[in-house]
């Protein structure tokens, strides 16, 4: 990756932003452990109070879906006549989503999703450091935070009556400001306390934006691949979850695009898709290694003999003998010898 030129002004501004967000991360760690741990610092106490006073309730149930007009045929079966929507979305249940899609979302967007409580401190600090040092711009938001942001966008746009109001609602929900980020984090922590990880991940998949007017994993599956979300293959799932990272850049319905079109095999999407596939593979490998370590039997303690090719294993062989004319039993222990050399043929 080529180095980027950074002006002194930009560097100082980035440094201040990094310091500010690092302070926020410290605040979040403090907020996460209280009230279990008493906070003795007055400044820390005030900071936690400020954070706790931010709004923590977010209605995640009022997500708009498309409306469909049905007609009943003479044999009693129903057929869809037309659908109307501002956002093409069809909510599905947990069992109606391919496991590939669930894994692709977690491994691609938030590998520590099942470990954190709504905010991935490690990922946030890594993204801040990467951005400050001139690397590729990274978001660092957890799946829960992305879910919160998408809910705020959806609710804001749903209540808007004009295009200008919708644009303003989107801008407010995505503004790069400290106030918005703190509220997003506060909402994420509150949601993690109220809902299970499964509910949060499903909500995220049902609301995620896939470009154009396509929202949710079911509508995206049908729009891009003509299948239900439950039938997505590994490659299809990774390609769809690649889109949510940057919908305009990675969407698959611009065949004439020179950067991400049919002529080059949708190259931009493929790069992100392959990254997700690699992450999924690495996660499976790590899980397999962890399982193998747990299942591996303990070897008997051994000491190596000075004689070449011989190991003395601490596996005692005990025999009992009784002396003639005596009731006393004597136990003798011999050390078994096991050769590690292959037998001669």
CATH number of this structure's domain 63-290: 1.10.3810.10
Where are any strands of DSSP class E within the chain?
67-72, 78-84, 302-304, 310-322, 329-339
Neighbours of 196 (CB within 10 A): 9
Over residues 322-340, the mean pLDDT reads 43
The domain spans of the chain are 22-53, 63-290
Q: Which residue has better confidence, 139 or 124? A: 124
Token readout for 93 is: 């249940």
- Most confident range, picked from 125-129, 163-167, 274-278: 274-278
Q: Tokens 């499903």 label which residue?
A: 202
- Most confident range, picked from 11-15, 121-125, 279-283, 327-331: 279-283
Q: 144 near 200, Cβ under 8 Å?
A: yes
For 92-112, what is each residue's pLDDT tens digit?
999 999 999 999 999 999 999
pTM of the model: 0.67
Confidence of residue 280 (pLDDT cuts 50, 70, 90): very high
Is the pLDDT at 153 greater than 50? The verdict is yes
Over residues 146-163, the mean pLDDT reads 87
pLDDT on residue 197: 97
Q: Which residue has better confidence, 299 or 314? A: 299
């Amino acid at each position: 990756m080529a180095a980027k030129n950074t002006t002194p002004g930009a560097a100082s501004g980035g440094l201040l932003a990094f310091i500010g967000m690092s302070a926020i991360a410290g605040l979040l760690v403090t907020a996460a452990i209280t009230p279990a741990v008493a906070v003795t610092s007055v400044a820390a106490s005030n900071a936690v109070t400020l954070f706790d006073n931010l709004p923590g309730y977010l209605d995640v149930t009022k997500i708009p879906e498309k409306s469909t007009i049905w007609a009943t045929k003479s044999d009693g079966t129903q057929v869809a006549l037309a659908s109307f929507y501002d956002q093409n979305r069809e909510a599905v249940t947990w069992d109606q989503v391919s496991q590939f899609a669930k894994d692709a979302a977690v491994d691609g967007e938030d590998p520590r999703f099942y470990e954190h409580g709504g905010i991935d401190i490690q990922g946030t600090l890594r993204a801040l450091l990467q951005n400050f040092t001139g690397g590729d711009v990274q978001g660092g938001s957890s799946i829960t935070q992305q879910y919160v942001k998408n809910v705020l966008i959806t609710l804001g746009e749903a209540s808007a009556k004009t295009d200008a109001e919708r644009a303003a609602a989107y801008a407010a929900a995505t503004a790069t400001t400290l106030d918005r980020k703190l509220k997003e984090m506060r909402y994420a922590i509150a949601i993690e306390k109220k809902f299970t990880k499964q509910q949060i991940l499903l909500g995220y998949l049902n609301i995620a934006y896939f470009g154009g007017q396509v929202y949710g994993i079911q509508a995206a599956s049908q729009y891009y691949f003509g299948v239900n979300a439950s039938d997505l293959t590994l490659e299809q799932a990774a390609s769809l979850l690649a889109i949510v990272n940057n919908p305009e850049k990675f969407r698959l319905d611009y065949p004439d695009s020179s950067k991400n079109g049919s002529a080059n095999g949708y190259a931009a999407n493929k790069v992100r898709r392959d990254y997700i596939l690699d992450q999924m593979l690495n996660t499976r490998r790590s899980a397999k290694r962890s399982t193998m370590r747990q299942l591996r039997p303990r070897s008997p303690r051994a000491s190596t003999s000075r004689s070449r090719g011989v190991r003395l294993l601490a596996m005692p062989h005990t025999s009992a003998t009784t002396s003639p004319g005596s009731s006393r039993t004597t136990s003798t222990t011999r050390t078994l010898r096991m050769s590690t050399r292959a037998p001669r043929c």
